[in-house]
Structure 1
Amino acid sequence: MESSDAELDLLRSVQAVLRELSTQAPALQSNRGMWRWSLHKKVERDPGKSPALVGILLRELEKAESEDLRHVIIPLLHTLMYVLTKATGISEELYQRTYTFCMRLLTLPTPYCTVALECAIRLKTETAVPGTLYQRMVIAEQNLTNDLYPYRERVFLFVDPELVSPSVCSALLLEIQAAQEKQTPEACMRHVVSHALQAALGDTCEVGALHQKLQASPRSALERYFHAVVAAVEQMAGEHSPSPAGYLERLEEIRCALLGPAAAARGRCGGDPLRDRPPSIPLPSPHITFHLWTDEEQLWKELVLFLRPRSQLRLSADLEALDLQGLPPCGELARVSVLSTDSGIERDLPSGADEPPAPSSPEMERAGLQRKGGIKKRAWPPNILMPGSWGGPPGLHRRTGGPGGDGELLPGVSRLHTARVLVLGDDRMLGRLAQAYHSLRKRETQKFCLTPRLSLQLYYIRVLAPEAPSAPREPELGELAAFLGRADPWYENTVNTLCPAIHKLAAMPLSLDTSQTVDPFILDVITYYVRMGIQPIYFQIYTVKIFSDLSQDPAEDVFLTELKVKIQDSKLPKDGFSPKKRGVAEGPGAELSICYQKALLSHRAREVTVSLRAAGLVLKAIPASDAEVSGPTHLPPTAAPVRDHACLNVSVTEVVKSSNLAGRSFSTVTNTFRTVDLRIQSQDQRLLTLLLDKDSRRTFRNVVRFEVAPCPEPCSGAHKSKAPWLSSHRQKETEVTKAKSKPLLMPINTFSGIVQ
């Protein structure tokens, strides 16, 4: 009876999650995301419910497949995989049904086949060696030292103190610290040993006695058991034809060593399931470091510190001279060719000599003169400066794909570490992240330090400042989060719901009693997001060249979401000549010359030049409607720029002059168009003010001209031809051709990418 009641309770919770995805009722809006969290908490408190929950989720997935309810497939699949990662005692039949279901999803379009493939790979690993997913996740996230699985992960939480209130920062920091104080390395090693033995041996491992023995074991003994379990699991996972009998035998030996000689006999007889009820084995939250973003290069510096070996944790004064675990210095690695600066002639030195012979030696007397090659070229792979993992397809987003391949990019070097950068804030924070990402990529083309060893994953949680009743209404600062919510409904239900919850946490009084057990809702949702959100949506970064004086070089910056143009109220010089008749009003706005390339489905270059009087412009890079998110599905894959929204939506507030009996009057009308690039210049004495990404700190005044275009990969100009035998015209053509590289796209991880 208890079993049926428990299954009925779990079924009601799962159906509540499904209703949450299928309805937009106002009554459910305030509690979105709570059902998924409470469902996972139920099996965390009582692990014996895990097999029942897996069966319920699997039945709902099969039902959604048969009824073609695709909008619930990915959320249910992520929920199921999160349960399987932590669960023990799942039957082989359930694993096989889940794997078969994922394989059937491979016939569906993206993102369903992409997510299903990732889940199928994990399921195959877990089925072959139960407990592998849990062990590898804990080892990487908690940085547990071992030789067989050397991967490391870290979550970098960045908050701009000027955009997020101090109370929110303090509340988040206290919740993170309170949770991680209990996650000592010893506790994490105990969790790994207990989970591996329980997943492989089941009820015969005497989990109650095992838990007590591990609690009483000293650090040295605990490390010995931990390394033995890791070795058994990783050796089994690395075998092409694994032997389950040998694997179970090795784990049985570890269990007997822990519990003593009498454990073998008790294990053969089996334990009492009522008396030896398995304790809850938690999955510790990842190691999160909290950072107040105050320095422009702070992101790059933190990533460099993360990659430093433990013996070199002190940051040197010159970050450019970095040596990462046996890699050549960054400057040596980045130089593809080395130009000789001598006369080109050298003595013929004996091969293999460490030092040149003495001037009076016979070798020097017999040595002749030999021409030395002026350039030494290195045989790096052709894509050394632009690894495939950094790039994505052209356009604002791609509908497929997890992170790029983590294979070897350089001989003997693979990316062992993952940095999950999570930013909290609004669109202004994302504009700052785009600046840092562009700077990091540009630095990597000069000093190739991070890319060979680091997988960079970007995450975003919207945190808006609460609106004061008397304050003027702020412009919309959550457009990108709203776009992500429209593109991925599971992101909307899980991540976008954190904004009000974080403000509620900040409003609560601080509790100094750390003995109370409190479920950290916000930390749990963040943990779920960074673990399961591995499908990126790529956003185009745009570069803007700003001219304050046409005779000087422009200033350059980048933006991600919006560029706003205002007309300054500048006056004509006193000695200036105005062709206008005295007493005739100029009218509002400024005369602008606008030259842009029209965005067409055919991708044919069509430039349009217009002159008009405008009171302001707004350039937006984020689609504003659901129709723009999904895009037309009949276009071929080559039609990426329009289909994937790699274009700007420009709104021009045009000033229209009209004449009537009362005199001349002015009205405004808004014209909109879509473009790939844009060049605007003021034709009269009026100056312009540019505001990037809605951030008042990124304001440019007294602008006479600016140019906007998709930001290219920073390495696009690294191979410009300088052959002297080419004519100047041919050389310019060569430079232009080689400079046309892929646009720079910034990935933000979601649960599924774009759901059509």
Structure 2
Amino acid sequence: MESRVKNPVMNTGAVWEKVCAGETRVSQEHCTSGSANIAANTEADIQRSVQAIIRELDQEHPAFQCSRGMFRWTLHKKTERDPYSSNFLVKILIGELELAKKNNKHYILPLLNILMYAIIQAAYIPDNLYEKTYTFCKGLLSFPKPYCTIGHQYAVMLKAERKAPGILYQRAVISEHGLKNDTFSHREKIFVFADPDLISEEVINALHNEIRSVSLSDTSADYMSHIIKHSIQATLGENCDISKLDEALQNKPYNMIEHYFQEVVAVTEQSCFSSEEVTTAHRKHSSKLQQLYRAIISSAQQVSSSSERLQNIPLPNPNISFFMWKEDDLLWKELVQFAKNQLDGCQDFIYSDSDTSEMSETTDGRNFEQTRLSVLSTDSGIVRDCGDPTVGNDASPSRSSDRNQTKLSRKGCVKKRNHDSENVLCFPDIYDNNAISNDMTLHRKFGCNVMSFGIKHLKPNTARVIVIGNDCILGRLAKAFHSLRKREARRGILTTKLNLLFYYIPVTNEKQRPMCAGQVKHLLHHDLSCELSRYLGSVDPWYNSNINSLRNMIPELAKMSTTSGQQSGADPFIVDVASYYVRMGCQPVCFQIYSVKLTFSDETEEIVDDVFLIQLEAQFPEQKCAKESTLVRRKALSEGIGGQITVTYKKAGNVMMRTSYIKIKVQDNCGKSMTVCLDKDFRRVYKDVISIDVSPCLEPGYCLHKMRTLRFNQTEIENIGLTKYMPKCLLLPLNTFAGIL
């Protein structure tokens, strides 16, 4: 196991060549009468892997932490290589979950995540195992949050999977790879942002190469074939000759594969939303897919029946776009481009009257003010008043009878934009009711997995943004998110089109550029390690095992791939883990973003308004004017929503501190100033600062509505109109697997 932990990318091929040799023999002998002992050995092997994961959740020894995340990854690789292992895994996990309900509740969500991910990928699951898993998830409804919320979400997904086996797999592939169909139109895109100033070049190259190799592996025809085979096999089980089905699809032209794909998706979606009882819906679904299966294989040549009746169809990794975050507004530009691309291709379900003109504009915020907000029609909008000659000259009987009636119809015209309705909440799904209050505590909102089934409430697209780096990149993300929210408060370009989800993968081995001339060199003496990821790992053990483990592993893997070259055919470990994270990490933890106002000693310089997420550090220069004020040093902490605000200073002025507001000002007669650094970022250093004002950053939409309300209401009453229903503080949501336990 040690070699697998130290070098998972380089050694996976060699390790699995030995491990899977036995597994291949197991799968080939499952259908024979003498396979009982081999099946028992396979089940025992899965049991040992599950126990290793359980021990991992309890181990805190540093030597043990180097293997965190590897046990889960290798377990899922085992089930990928042996289609019969999934049934053993589901059965074992159900037993462990029942035991965990009594004494070890912290095992429940990690094991349940493994179970659901196995079901999504499984070649075939018997209905009795579906039923047991569904019963367990329903039993979690009596538990406190987050157990009850996640249990309910998974119960809904399992009920749909029982009606139409394979729908979870199907929806994941369709949305992640943008497969066009007439039934399920949701689209996803994963954006990975890495800051070249914070991560070494070898790490960036390793990430880029692995992501590129995965994204170029399959075509749209391959993805459609995967869905066809997986859906039919998941429904029919061993009654499906998967070898014959595969051979038949390989000989079909693209248009026929697309036709079968459309039929499979239509049948599956119809069965999923059927109001009939589960057993009845499943029986009808099986009958329809059986007919389709026979139609597909009817033209196939006679092939020898395979001894392996089930075949695993791997769940493809999602399409990932990798970006070097060099421009501050790059996130905004890419999100707008993604929404625009979906708008061009899917006019039927996300079109609005003024979207196309807005999306074609430049993303420069200064031009937003010059954009026409509405177009008012000069006519009445009634067809009979418009004087259209085609209407008057049409003498058909139907038109004549229509003219004799007094009914009026509207002419298609451009509607006036309603400012209040478009700016109510730009991304309301990331907040809960507690976020509206002013209490300074961490908040958690239980999100909705894209594969869940509240489609009426689901926006047409989902953008999953992964940032990779240390605390500095989270500060940059907070600033970009604040800028995005300000744009959206003025004009909701992305509001109705995108679910925006943020994910954080910590990476150490930071690269620091030389300090600029005259910059205080010892200002950035603090630890640049990933403090926020450590906090997320402390509240969510499964995040700690799977994501925090990448903090040192990614740089090590990058060095190995640089020195010896990545092994051909090796499993893409980093992409696999990132895919698991974005698919199963649907519970955000929200962190308060802080606003800071900086005043400079030079009165000609404008006051700077900025934001930060983790830390503000202020350094005072040496002062020799007063002995009692030269060597005194204080450290003030203000705990808010999320991390800590740390202010380091020498006694050079008056300090006023409260939980929600901090002000530091240099005495006027001192003639000195401060140097300020935000979020540990050497690029965000301000010099010659004489005053700092820190407060929780307000939601831009809330501020805009408050300003508009006060125009018509001279009373200084807060939270009137829509503002009392809106979140007041701006929170940055970072997704984890369980939120806060």
Flag whether TM exceeds 0.5 (same fold).
yes
Aligned residue among 50, 69, 82 for 1:46: 82
SS in 1 for 2:265: helix
Q: Which residue of 2 aligns with 1:540?
A: 592
Taking the aligned partners of 1:540 and 1:724, their CA distance within structure 2 comes to 29
Residues 52-99 of structure 1: CA deviation (Å, up to 9, x unaligned) = 111001100011113x20111110000000000011321111111111
Taking the TM superposition and a 5 Å limit, the aligned residue runs for 1:714-725 are 714-719=700-705, 720=707
The 1:588/1:34 distance shift into structure 2, 3 A limit, reads same
Say which of 328, 340, 343 aligns to 1:296.
328
Corresponding residue number in structure 2 for 1:443: 487
Q: Alignment partner for residue 284 of structure 2, among 226, 246, 249?
A: 246
- Is residue 256 from structure 1 mapped to residue 294 from structure 2 by the alignment? yes
Deviation sequence 1:128-161 (CA, Å, 0-9, x none): 1111101111111111111101111111000001
The answer to whether the aligner puts 1:175 opposite 2:184 as a matched pair is no
The residue number in structure 2 matching 1:560 is: 613
Say whether 1:713 aligns with 2:699. yes
2:549 is the alignment partner of 1:497: yes
Deviation at 1:170, TM superposition (A): 0.6
User: 671, 687, 690: which is aligned to 2:673?
Assistant: 687
Cα offsets for 1:575-613 (capped at 9, x unmatched): xxxxx7xxx747426xxxxxxxxxxxxxxxxxxxxxxxx
Q: Distance in 2 between matches of 1:422 and 1:145?
A: 25
What whole-Å deviation, never above 9, does each CA across 1:594-651 have from its counterpart, x for those lacking one? xxxxxxxxxxxxxxxxxxxx64656566xxxxxxxxxxxxxxxxxxx7xxx4695556
Report the secondary structure of 1:696's partner residue. Answer: coil
Cα distance change on mapping 1:215 and 1:397 into 2, 3 Å: farther
Letter in structure 1 aligned against 2:615: E
Whole-angstrom CA distance in 2 between matches of 1:240 and 1:461: 41
Indicate conservation of the 8 Å contact 1:494/1:525, yes or no: yes
Question: Relative to structure 2, which stretch is displaced further, 394-403 or 150-159?
Answer: 394-403
Normalising to structure 1: TM-score of the pair?
A: 0.76
Q: In the aligned structure 2, how far is the partner of 1:509 from the partner of 1:351?
A: 69
Q: Does 1:463 align with 2:486?
A: no
Distance 2:665 2:536 in 1: 34
Map of 2:108 onto structure 1: 73
Task: Identify the structure with the greater strand proportion.
Answer: 1
Task: Name the amino acid aligned to 2:728.
Answer: K
Distance 1:347 1:187 in 2: 53
Deviation (angstroms), 1:162: 0.6
Partner of 1:602: none
In 1, the alpha carbon distance for the partners of 2:700 and 2:294 equals 58
Which residue in the other structure is 2:424 paired with? 384
2:475 aligned with 1:431: yes
What is aligned with 1:84?
A: 119
What secondary structure, in the 3-state scheme, does the structure 2 residue paired with 1:47 have? Answer: coil
Deviation at 1:675, TM superposition (A): 1.5
Report the 3-state secondary structure (helix = DSSP H, G, I; strand = E; otherwise coil) of the residue aligned with 2:196.
coil
Question: Which residue, out of 72, 84, 94, partners 1:58?
Answer: 94
- Is the Cα–Cα contact under 8 Å of residues 407 and 414 in structure 1 kept in the other structure? no
Query: 2:67 is aligned with what amino acid?
Result: N
1:151 matches 2:186: yes
Q: Give 1:523's aligned residue.
A: 575
2:235 aligned with 1:200, yes or no? yes
- Matching of residue 282 in structure 1 with residue 314 in structure 2: yes
Secondary structure class of the residue paired with 1:144: coil
Give the CA deviation at 1:538.
Answer: 0.3
Could you tell me which residue of structure 1 aligns to residue 354 of structure 2? 328
Q: Do the aligned partners of 2:244 and 2:300 also contact (CA within 8 Å) in 1?
A: no
Flag the 1:347–1:452 CA change in 2: closer, same or farther, 3 A: closer
Between the aligned partners of 1:348 and 1:90, the Cα distance in structure 2 is: 61
**Given that residues 614 and 645 in structure 2 are in contact (C-alpha distance below 8 angstroms), is that contact kept between their aligned partners in structure 1?**
no
Secondary structure at 1:706 match in 2: strand
Q: CA deviation at 1:177?
A: 1.5
Range with bigger deviation, 740-749 or 451-460: 740-749
The answer to whether the 8 A contact 1:423-1:429 is kept is yes
Residue type at the aligned position of 1:588: T
1:85-484, aligned counterparts within 5 Å? 85-241=120-276, 243-260=281-298, 275-309=307-341, 325-329=351-355, 353-354=385-386, 378=418, 381=421, 384-386=424-426, 388-392=428-432, 393-394=434-435, 395=440, 397-403=442-448, 415-465=459-509, 475-484=527-536
Q: Residues 425 and 352 of structure 1: is their aligned pair in 2 closer, same or farther, counting only changes over 3 Å?
A: farther
Deviation at 1:114, TM superposition (A): 1.7
In angstroms, what is the RMSD of aligned CA positions?
4.0
User: For 1:500-550, what per-residue CA distance to the aligned partner results, in whole angstroms no more than 9, with x for missing partners?
Assistant: 221122112459999932111111111111110000000000000111157
CA 292–184 in structure 1, closer or farther in 2 if over 3 Å, else same: same
Aligned to 2:55: 19
3-state SS in 2 of match to 1:539: strand
Q: CA deviation at 1:25?
A: 2.8
Structure 1 position 190, deviation (Å): 1.3
Separation of aligned partners in 2, 1:588 and 1:416: 60
Separation of aligned partners in 2, 1:649 and 1:752: 25
**What amino acid is aligned across from residue 483 of structure 1 in structure 2?**
Y
Alpha carbons 2:638, 2:659 under 8 Å: kept: no
Percent of aligned pairs with the same amino acid = 37
Superposition deviation, residue 209 in structure 1: 1.3
Q: Quick one: which of 700, 723, 729 aligns to 2:686?
A: 700
More helix by share: 2
Q: Distance in 2 between matches of 1:302 and 1:695?
A: 23
Residue 285 of structure 2 aligns with an amino acid whose one-letter code is: Y
Post-superposition Cα deviations, 1:716-740, rounded to whole Å, max 9, x if no partner, equal 23232587897xxx55556999978
- Secondary structure of 1:308's counterpart equals helix
CA contact 2:200–2:510 (8 Å) conserved in 1: no
Inter-partner Cα distance in structure 1 for 2:487 and 2:422: 19
User: In 2, Cα distance between the equivalents of 1:515 and 1:557?
Assistant: 46
Aligned-residue offset at 1:253? 2.0
Match of 1:610? none
Q: Structure 1 counterpart of 2:590, which letter?
A: Y
Segments of structure 2 that go 5 or more residues without pairing to the other structure are 1-36, 360-367, 390-414, 513-520
Pick closer, same or farther for the CA change 1:64–1:620 going to 2, 3 Å: same
Distance of 2:580 and 2:503 partners within structure 1 = 12
Cα distance change on mapping 1:256 and 1:406 into 2, 3 Å = closer
Change (3 A) 1:687 1:203: same
Q: Which consecutive residues of structure 1, in runs of 5 or more, have no partner in the other structure? A: 314-322, 358-374, 572-579, 590-613, 622-640, 657-670
TM-score by length of 2: 0.78
Q: 1:515 to 1:476 in 2, by over 3 A?
A: closer
Count of aligned positions: 642
User: Which amino acid counterpart does residue 446 of structure 2 have in structure 1?
Assistant: G
- Asked if 2 retains the 8 angstrom alpha-carbon contact of 1:568 and 1:687, the reply is yes
What is the deviation of 1:713? 0.7
Change in 2 beyond 3 A, CA 1:64/1:556: same
Equivalent residues of 1:155, 1:289 under 8 A apart:
yes
Segment drifting more, 149-158 vs 253-262: 253-262
What's the CA shift string for 1:384-414, capped at 9, x where partnerless?
34552243433553245115999999xx996
Give the match's secondary structure for 1:461. Answer: strand
Structure 1 contact 213–258 (Cα < 8 Å) conserved? yes
CA distance in 2, matches of 1:15, 1:655: 56
